[in-house]
Structure 1
Amino acid sequence: MRMMVIALIPALLASAPGSAQEFKAGEPLGTVNEAGIATPISSNVRVFGSFRFAESCTYDPDRNLIVAMNAGVTQDLQQNDGFVSLIRPDGSVHTSKWIGATRDGLVLNHPLGSAIAGGILYAADIDTVRRFDLATGKPLGATTVPGATYLNGIAVAQDGTVYATNTRPESRVYRIAPDGSVSVFVEGAPLANPNGIAIDPEGHVVVVNLGDNAVMTFHPDGRLIRTERSAESGNDGLVILKDGTRYVSSVRFGSVTRIRPGSAAEVIAVGIPSAASMCHDPVQNQLVIPMNPHNALAFLPLG
């Protein structure tokens, strides 16, 4: 019995809070060969997958990669299970777990929406907006949003103001100012379980609802300027191009709607299960659409 107690001491020390290691980003796919040498995966091999409830994506222009946000398992099963994958434009895996290779120095519980601005990756994580260095993946800090119950979509304005939707009651859009102060930007009707959010070329805040097919454009002071309608309701993803064209994905009905300035809404794709918070890859000119519980990404060329 005495020997067993002594044997347990190192294990207990290893799990103590003081033994936590510093954050380390994951490496691109590869192995360590028999000689003990780190070996990248062969260039003639492509791997697809690496998702666990992929909810959103963003495009990293510096590396020409898709940054996929994975919510992980539900919080009742395991907390702090979210991770970020790096995906090539052809859908193959670059790094399966870039952020989340280990949990050392990392808290990422159940991330949904994501955005990139000023070299920072932003993630909406339940009631917190987290920030990561886009080059290294290192956590940069977090802002807790009082009153938030389910932060979902996220967008960043040119001045650094962050806007985040709260999809579950109460229906709100929160604003985080560059100085870190948090306020309610819009709440109540016409919001109906707001989900996707983006900034248009004029700096307006555009929001789509899960509860209906409204595509609402708000002035930065919170005034509703215009309401358009997508082809179907149950909307999640929102992409706005430089010419003002809006693309809206319906997570409930699997369609993608295009709304060109001054034109009626038109459906350009259907049958995409759980079409969630998509992103635009401008180099390949394609929409990348996470299919959250299906653990997959759909690719829709726009050319």
Structure 2
Amino acid sequence: MNLISRLPRWLVAAAVLAGAPQLSAQGFDLEPGDVIIADDTLSGPTGWLRILHKDGSLETIASGTPLFNPAGVYIDRDGNLLVSCWNGQWTPENGIYRFFADGRPYEKLNTTPLEDNFRVCRDSQGDVVVADGFAGLARIDESGNVDWFSPPGTAQFETNIGVLWDMDGNLLVSEAPNYLMGSLEPGRIFEVDLAGDRQLFAFDPNLLPNPNGIALNSDGSLLATDASTAGDPRHSLVRVNRFGQVQRISDRFVFPTDVAIVGRGHSVVAAPGEEAVVWVRPDGSRQTLVSEDEDGNPSNGLPVDRPYALTVVPALWLSTPFVAQLGTLLTFRIESLKAFAGQEVILAISTDQGPYAMANWWSWDAQFSHLDLDQAKLLRGNLQANGEVQFLTWIQDPNLQGKVLYLQAFLEGERLLSNPVALPVR
């Protein structure tokens, strides 16, 4: 699903919708290390939502309407999946859909159609942020209202594709040229503050002319895929350091559209041009994990067709209650890989108002000063044989009522951070 293939689908959107199969969905159980794939299709009007488990097995958990051209997938804090689905510019089906792990029917989060939606993430208050093509960045609140709060930073026909939070509480968005609409400007990556104001973060016409998917490393650097929509042969995976400098990791791809971090410099790349999901090592060498031609039948879309977007279940997964009731004992659970059994996990709890307060420090370097120890509590424990650890803590200080606690776990021996959680105190 690149920008070239989107226009013809827009012209036949009504016919596609009329013949689209209804959704077939099931519950699912995510484990650390699983890869979630938003799989577009060449063999039908809709796509699939799949899980590539760390044992190599592939599970299809949803197919049919509303998975029109799934263009982004995000793991919510409760283990559900947010999927960005597109069926033509400004069509009613465009939106962010939540697929529930327990098998409940999906729900659409936005009440207003999106323009050309791609990747998605959430902020600490629970609002959804979407990279919405030519329209820029959109925010969807809990009532489904859509606010386009940050227009494209370069030109009218630049396409916003990737979006994520950085370690300083700002958004990073990748913006690629749309050659079909006459854009000749090379792409850029912008830093966007909470008000929507943009500042150039990375610009390299030689190494990163067409930035698509982006992913955040634990050291604050980015991985980015470069995928041309005009036959440009420079299809690559690059690293962008915290100063915006670009270094190529590998150029052995065909239209790589998304990337996710696995850990220790390893990543997985969605390459719909190869109809494959690829594992990339720190030295740039690669291994195909799953591809469309594995079953010898290129027409059936199995086991994958055109994997367009993906995400990885973090190696540390933090589960909490949805609300912290003052005066109650809370249980926080952290799941990880069994291979990390015995290693110490640190859970940081803070009232710091930054979106991801714990994501900016490592305990052995100067960045530790970022953590205000007067406002933070550190809990320590060791992962058990099953790869899990639980923390119990009382929320008793009456001054916390009405505030938000920011939590994040840290596996020091592996330099891994968990998913961040914002927990309101009532």
TM-score over 0.5 (shorter chain) = yes
Whether 1:159 and 2:159 are equivalent positions in the alignment is no
Whether 1:180 and 2:180 are equivalent positions in the alignment is no
CA RMSD of aligned residues (A): 2.8
Whether 1:299 and 2:265 are equivalent positions in the alignment is no
Match of 1:190 among 141, 154, 164: 154
Distance 2:23 2:166 in 1: 38
After the TM superposition, which residues 240-255 of structure 1 pair with which residues of structure 2 at under 5 Å, given as runs? 240-252=216-228, 253-255=234-236
What is residue 41 of structure 2 aligned with on the other side? 72
CA-to-aligned-CA distance 1:189-225 (integer Å, 9 cap, x gap): 3262111111112221111111123110000111124
* TM-score, scaled relative to structure 1: 0.70
Distance 2:36 2:68 in 1: 17
What is residue 256 of structure 2 aligned with on the other side? 275
Unaligned 5+ residue runs, structure 2? 1-20, 87-93, 178-185, 229-233, 284-426
Whether 1:121 and 2:81 are equivalent positions in the alignment is yes
Q: 1:22 to 1:239 in 2, by over 3 A?
A: closer
237-246 or 284-293: bigger deviation? 284-293
CA-to-aligned-CA distance 1:140-189 (integer Å, 9 cap, x gap): 4113463533211212223222111222xx34211112343211021143
Whether 1:131 and 2:104 are equivalent positions in the alignment is no
Whether 1:142 and 2:108 are equivalent positions in the alignment is yes
SS at match of 1:197: strand
Whether 1:201 and 2:167 are equivalent positions in the alignment is yes
4+ long deviations beyond 3 Å: 20-24, 135-140, 144-147
What is residue 87 of structure 1 aligned with on the other side? 52
158-167 or 123-132: bigger deviation? 158-167
Distance 1:94 1:158 in 2: 31
Distance 2:153 2:23 in 1: 45
* TM-score, scaled relative to structure 2: 0.51
- Give the aligned residue type for 2:161: N
Distance 2:68 2:162 in 1: 20
Distance 1:121 1:143 in 2: 12
What is residue 266 of structure 1 aligned with on the other side? 247
Q: 1:27 to 1:140 in 2, by over 3 A?
A: closer
Q: 1:301 to 1:178 in 2, by over 3 A?
A: farther
Distance 2:23 2:131 in 1: 31
Unaligned 5+ residue runs, structure 1? 1-19, 29-59
Q: 1:263 to 1:130 in 2, by over 3 A?
A: closer
**Kindly, what percent of the aligned residue pairs are identical?**
15
What is residue 237 of structure 1 aligned with on the other side? 213
Q: 1:220 to 1:137 in 2, by over 3 A?
A: farther
Say whether the 8 Å CA contact 1:129–1:145 is kept in structure 2: no
Distance 1:293 1:84 in 2: 18
SS at match of 1:69: strand
Q: 1:137 to 1:257 in 2, by over 3 A?
A: farther
Say whether the 8 Å CA contact 2:28–2:102 is kept in structure 1: no
Distance 1:213 1:155 in 2: 21
Distance 2:23 2:235 in 1: 41
